[in-house]
Amino acid sequence: MKKFFKITVLASAVSLLAACGQEAQADKATDIKAYSEDQQAAYAIGSIVARNLVAPLKRQEELGAPLDKTIIVQGITDALNETTQLSDEELQAVLKAYDEKMNTLSTEAARVESEKAQADAVNFFAENGKKEGITTTDSGLQYEVLTAGTGDVAKPSDTVTVHYTGSLLDGKVFDSSVERGEPATFALNRVIPGWTEGVALMNVGSKYKLYIPSELGYGAQGAGADIPPNSTLVFEVELLEIAGQEK
């Protein structure tokens, strides 16, 4: 489980913030560009360190366990003045306990999000399957023919060249060969089941929209930060070529 706070990170933050100098805080109205080169470097270091804390602080707030930024500043100030009110052992114990709390909250949040994604998928496929032009296969895959091609039909064992754009139900694009400006080539038996089945329905020159349920996609594991667990995937796929065929 990913740690939200690491003692080494906080220790580094405190030590680097020491380089910021207390003059900048004493006179916030002063234009930083008017500072000396060394002072600007100190300011830059402090800014970068603070930015590294923004994302975890926002995540903790989202999980219902916000940290008081005023007290964070107090901790940094005390450390700079060598008047820290907790021993190293106490600091480690406090951060360890908070880490455990955040991991518990994160696990619960992931469970709730996963269950919501499953419920949303059930509703989506039920309604989407009623639309004109949508075909539902025995596996639960749904597809829509955007452009009907006249070439050969791909087989699950074929290697194909395609252009595609993949998104989530909320419209967020997580991958696109179209945006990269370069088509992708791969063996159909080496991709997610929804792709293997969907592209094997297509003729060369056709363009389909595939609606892939999570069990035919990345399932309960998801795929990195871009594809959460139990995500329904929506792909627009254009089949350009089947390997080994004459163009």
3-state helix, strand, coil in the chain (%, to 5): 50, 20, 30
Torsion sign, CA atoms 59, 65, 66, 72: negative
Terminal CA-CA length for the chain:
50
CB 149 within 8 A of CB 206: yes
CB 47 within 8 A of CB 19: no
The Cα-based distances of 181 to 163, 173, 210 in angstroms read 9, 15, 21
**Cβ partners under 8 Å of residue 240, min gap 6:** 160, 161, 162, 163, 183, 204, 205
Measured between alpha carbons, how far is 197 from 194 in angstroms, rounded to an integer?
5
List, by residue number, the catalytic residues.
164, 174-175, 192, 218, 235
CB 146 within 8 A of CB 209: yes
